[in-house]
Structure 1
């Protein structure tokens, strides 16, 4: 049998479908081929499309089953093909065919007439024939909501049902690897010993990455995170856990940095966007509209409860949740995504059934251009929706019918070129229902809802409302020593206000704040803030003092923070912080970690290894670091005299000593590798801003080779601190960060990506030898070999290509998946080994002699930025702001 990705189903089923089948342990027989096949349906005889045949051919391991990934855990039989009738209420007969069913007596149907795509629609209908099959989901989404169950006990005896709640919980490595995450997660809070609390922290560190992965992948990620947290013994124990049906790991983690790992960061959900939080059937849940999909997650476990596509031709800017007549609904506000006719655009309010994502009635036009703020409350016992939009109006709607109540309320000033009302919070003031809005005009305003939205007190933070950073975008309500207060924030600061008098209470809480919320902790009001760099902090509202230290919720790069909600959940107080692609959950009560492991504080952008002894990294944090490869200790303090981020690093022998080269902007810096002392600076003239940096030797002298935004390739004498060699090479393409240098037959060559090709330049002769022609752009270059024969590997958008550098001929092609941004190549024990990694967080390795994998793929919690390989077989991986070193398992 073959894996799914290698079978003849490739091309019939999408990559997403194949990946999900493989994750669930399924495979398609090597001999599978679609055949001519027709079946009887309620619409007559109909052909079974090739994609459906491929799904029906999937075989599953003996002793394994599938179940729904929800509270019911219904056993799913898939595939289970057969003709069906009387299952769907329909006006016109359709070509229904059953591909599966579950123990909840729900059937999975496809309409054969529309199942010719590689990710065809699937309908879930009840057995009693009462459904009209109006809701459909893609096959990949259906498979993504299934979980594997096996004959093995996945719930360890130490954590067995019936165990006393107050009994100490023992968490061992096998439980962490092989237990179903939905079973284990709620129990981690019962950890009492220091060792078990550390295990719980390791488990939560990359939860979003391993929660839905197979046990073998989880084992590798957990071992990595244990190393990042400075727990080598736990890392080894995790790596050694047997996983049924999976071989032992091919790679051993030697060490890793984890400067930003923090046990207070409980989880990261892999969706972002506008959010709302509520209690739903005894669970605290967060609802997020990500793109055009509604997601509902359990905050305690990260479990996905609802994933439903929303049919809408506009973007979603706001969301609220409500329960009405025993039914949970989501209310969304949409906005114009941007066009040339804003005056004709309309922001709409739409109500959705939370259970299935189906719309409730038609959307209503609520505001001009956009609906940016929503809240749900009760006025005189009547459930209502409050909405604020670009037109600066506050409007009230009947939650049941969607009909408007009264006339729009006007009070905020229009800010030309910017938005209107950006935030709305609801509460009570002296027994009367109120709303407090924040807007781009720099003011917050109190509205009396009992009088239909009468404007009341105005709270003004900024008078210069013509500028974008003057607005108030977040409002929360609470109490301080019996005084009703509002806390507001925008792009500048967070402030507190007396709701009765409209006066500001005390000084600014913090002057660097993106979003804020107000929550009570141990009887005192606490303001929680997040800044644009992703740091969550908390402040005592009485004293304005910061409580504890901040937590950085987004470690890989700067994100666009959209909101912040502080809420009581999981038996603690948490902050829920979404950006555009993820949602972080932070424990606001836990104590800060004692010390952070050494490492970069921002994304690693450059990496090289020297003499199989040290690794050198450069980062967006403006520093370069030199690491001992054997144990990860720093050779010297960080190299920190850079003006901007360090984009490139290299090593060379300069003046008889080992040196490290770094570049930032227009300057090359030369550092002593042993001491970290700066020995010289070489400043480029003529606007040569450097993108790449490599080292070479011309006539026995060390030189640096750079490629700049000016499209020139230059060489620099590192001892004389001046230009060296021939006149510069000029490329066609200005922006290029792919370059490598190598010695071949006594000549030093530079391989430089340029406009879809790789130019092979002779640095000694000052001429171009030939080009390595590609179809599409070149994302990375790596070279290795002997002086007589040099091999290059280049990454394109489609694959890896292998080249003989001397002749310029292509000698092989490897399928590297997608999104490759990092390459490495090395001669290991006489065999050329290549490694690739990228934005999917996966590193793959190959033996170039036969094109087969050199070891199993490795999964990382963040994007892989750079890679290096040593002659001893060590694999060095830079992911996010961290570095990890692996060696082949012996």
Structure 2
């Protein structure tokens, strides 16, 4: 069929979709065939950009056919739409259209496509989103992500890529949702479609979750001219055909956990750790090739077969067998596989490095080993030691590149060549995959799994269609594919959020205009316009976590109070961002301030702060005098969950009291003026809770206390008597665990907003528990929320800050 004919066919098919009075297509009413195949016909007829620029098509089209077509976008609007769609690939395939609308609207806000976000939020002829995103930062937007394959498994442990039948096949090993069985999956790298039915290997049902070595290691190779994958079972090596999935070889081996494949003298070989040494075995026969390579420790933690010049080499790393402060660091060795001799010195890892991943690379023409320590050690005093990544010359052991500290350690490591120089791809415990080009030394994030989802446990590199692709096997059961090749095709220009994460958030007004304050994990406090997201001021407090924010007006001057570990409590001028005063504890024991509130007492504003072990402080805001330093009764049983409120004009502190673990807890109330515990005891929850899940509010003179627990229960009590006002039991897994809560008044209606670890945000009537609205935010974990009287909702999620408008949902006036 000619291009003209294809264009005519596309015209006919698209003409079957009705239109609204404004000319937009009625995709909600389109035939299912068109929702699945319209994009294919549009590509053939040269109409792809037209479809991508239609927000309603993005909402209703089948993601399975739309995602592979995204690279074909060319016009500015189409490229923006493709970027917005690609940024939420995690969640769209399994979502219903209205959920897709929510994901796409917030994604549009994250990449700065405000016009597209508004069109998605307010579709013609349909109800607007109950929670309309006004802006969001977009630090976690990673346009390099090209695909997310998620089969609903519990965890993907390992990934390998092999080429067979003219295509790249991705092989993964994962665990089923119940944690019993191992599943081997085969899929086409380009389309994501399975090339073979999955293979299930029955696990140990008496010990669910026990990790089989099938789950941990997998490598690609070739046997008798056929692409194969090699897995390590409890009894040895299992070699499976990539084309058929059938077992073509089985070789018994000794005990061990590591595996690497490569070529030696024209033969496919596999290296395995087996007790006191490492064996290199012929994959066809299973026989050892040469004598065992003796290791200084039986704790081999990394294996790789590579080449230096024409010499095949083995790179292995060992763990010292000692841990924490007692760990002197492991070792890394490079062995010539022809002679069995060690090349260069023993490369010693830094102390407290624990398990180390060692990879061979090339830097400025010299072979190097890259040592990536896995663990983060915390000593008895709570001091965290983040490991250092080192790059050493293979022959001399000299440092070839400056070491750097890797936050949360290296969980996966791969080294590849681009334009003749080495590029490191590393996964860490925070969920980020970072790329460092050794020719320039700069690092950037390629993708981020998100704290709530997990981390990357294995990496593979594939070269296809002129692109270098990174495949990440992730702890949340998904396989992510990102393009490592430089590309200028994305228009994404997101506003930066916080470097590590958002800890606290507050809405207030400056000159009558709403602004949002957000505190980060590095002591940074950002002030942004709440409607546009434009940055207005940067404040700071210490160098570690702004745990809470309170805002007050003193003599017509707006001030901000922040709490932070080690740095105590600070007062800032909101307009200028300048610090005004620091409030310290007389006992110099303010190791961690979890909450700050500003309350009136005897006609003067006071700051109430609460910390670990039930320690409470109170300062006169104006004079700085410490009015109270008190450890509440049974303080050792208190968790870091506090909130201050007024009860009949008296400042009262509400705190969560419970032992750690799955136990029933209660909310205790303390009268700060008399330093006594009030008789009211509120039986609040079961299970563990988050710092931000206690909130207080006064509605028409009645003080209320609200609590949201990890099990999905939300309850509200009257603070004077402990009488239950409302209770909501959320059974759905999507609303558990709850991690953030705020209460407020919108147009005279008392409401609360609760966020979850899975990124769900719900709005409830505070007095009845009625669910008013909900939405979702990509990336998971909502850390903190706040609301104001105009119906704005501020959300801190992951590294990001967003503001949504819920006014229409609460007041019922949004068309």
Among candidates 239, 244, 254, match of residue 366 of structure 1 = 254
Matched, 1:661 2:561: yes
Q: 8 Å contact 1:412–1:443 — kept in the other structure?
A: no
Write the distance in 2 (CA, Å) between the matches of 1:167 and 1:740.
Answer: 53
Q: 8 Å contact 1:347–1:371 — kept in the other structure?
A: no
Over residues 623-676 of structure 1, what are the superposed CA-to-partner deviations in whole Å (9 max), with x where a residue is unaligned?
12223323223332x212413111111112345522111111241000011211
Name 1:83's counterpart in structure 2. none
Q: 8 Å contact 1:825–1:832 — kept in the other structure?
A: yes
Matched, 1:458 2:343: yes
Give the deviation of 1:754 after TM superposition.
1.2
What SS does structure 2 have at the residue aligned with 1:455? coil
- How large is the Cα RMSD of the aligned pairs? 3.9
Among candidates 652, 660, 665, match of residue 552 of structure 2 = 652
Among candidates 270, 276, 281, match of residue 160 of structure 2 = 276
Name 1:253's counterpart in structure 2. 133
Cα separation, partners in 2 of 1:473 and 1:588, compared to 1, 3 Å = same
Matched, 1:606 2:489: no
Write the distance in 2 (CA, Å) between the matches of 1:196 and 1:578.
Answer: 30
Matches within 5 A, 1:100-115: none
Larger RCO of the pair (alpha carbons < 8 Å, separation 6+):
2
Cα separation, partners in 2 of 1:175 and 1:478, compared to 1, 3 Å = farther
What SS does structure 2 have at the residue aligned with 1:207? coil
What SS does structure 2 have at the residue aligned with 1:262? coil
What SS does structure 1 have at the residue aligned with 2:533? coil
Matched, 1:442 2:331: yes
Q: 8 Å contact 2:650–2:673 — kept in the other structure?
A: yes
Matches within 5 A, 1:566-605: 566-569=461-464, 571-578=466-473, 580-581=475-476, 584-591=480-487, 596-605=494-503
Bigger mean CA offset, 558-567 vs 712-721: 558-567
Matches within 5 A, 1:1-400: 151=32, 153-155=34-36, 157=38, 159-160=40-41, 163=44, 171-172=52-53, 173-240=55-122, 248-267=128-147, 271-279=155-163, 282-285=167-170, 287-289=172-174, 292-295=182-185, 298-300=188-190, 309-313=200-204, 314-315=210-211, 316-322=215-221, 330-333=229-232, 349-350=237-238, 364-367=252-255, 370-375=256-261, 383-388=268-273, 391-396=276-281, 398=283
Cα separation, partners in 2 of 1:805 and 1:511, compared to 1, 3 Å = closer
Cα separation, partners in 2 of 1:509 and 1:328, compared to 1, 3 Å = same
Among candidates 620, 624, 627, match of residue 525 of structure 2 = 624
Cα separation, partners in 2 of 1:730 and 1:295, compared to 1, 3 Å = farther
What SS does structure 2 have at the residue aligned with 1:508? strand
Cα separation, partners in 2 of 1:863 and 1:670, compared to 1, 3 Å = same
Over residues 70-118 of structure 1, what are the superposed CA-to-partner deviations in whole Å (9 max), with x where a residue is unaligned?
xxxxxxxxxxxxxxxxxxxxxxxxxxxxxxxxxxxxxxxxxxxxxxxxx
Write the distance in 1 (CA, Å) between the matches of 2:364 and 2:426.
Answer: 21
Give the deviation of 1:822 after TM superposition.
0.7
Q: 8 Å contact 2:435–2:446 — kept in the other structure?
A: yes
Name 2:380's counterpart in structure 1. none
Over residues 741-769 of structure 1, what are the superposed CA-to-partner deviations in whole Å (9 max), with x where a residue is unaligned?
22333233222111111012233343322
What SS does structure 1 have at the residue aligned with 2:497? coil
Write the distance in 1 (CA, Å) between the matches of 2:346 and 2:145.
Answer: 32
Using the size of structure 1 for normalisation, the TM-score is 0.70
Using the size of structure 2 for normalisation, the TM-score is 0.76
Matched, 1:507 2:400: yes
What SS does structure 1 have at the residue aligned with 2:720? coil
Aligned residues: 705
Q: 8 Å contact 2:515–2:527 — kept in the other structure?
A: yes
Cα separation, partners in 2 of 1:674 and 1:301, compared to 1, 3 Å = farther
Specify every segment of 5 or more residues in structure 2 that has no aligned partner in the other structure, as ranges. Answer: 1-29, 205-209, 320-329, 374-387, 659-664, 809-813
Give the deviation of 1:212 after TM superposition.
2.1
Give the deviation of 1:615 after TM superposition.
2.4
Matched, 1:876 2:794: yes
What SS does structure 1 have at the residue aligned with 2:91? helix
Write the distance in 2 (CA, Å) between the matches of 1:448 and 1:563.
Answer: 25
Give the deviation of 1:875 after TM superposition.
1.9
Name 2:434's counterpart in structure 1. 536
What SS does structure 1 have at the residue aligned with 2:104? helix
Cα separation, partners in 2 of 1:361 and 1:446, compared to 1, 3 Å = closer
Write the distance in 2 (CA, Å) between the matches of 1:322 and 1:679.
Answer: 65
Write the distance in 2 (CA, Å) between the matches of 1:587 and 1:771.
Answer: 56
Over residues 457-512 of structure 1, what are the superposed CA-to-partner deviations in whole Å (9 max), with x where a residue is unaligned?
424362x469454986233467987x9x56543334454767xxx46799337656
Q: 8 Å contact 2:363–2:421 — kept in the other structure?
A: yes
Bigger mean CA offset, 603-612 vs 679-688: 603-612
Name 2:718's counterpart in structure 1. 804
Write the distance in 2 (CA, Å) between the matches of 1:839 and 1:359.
Answer: 41
Bigger mean CA offset, 469-478 vs 213-222: 469-478
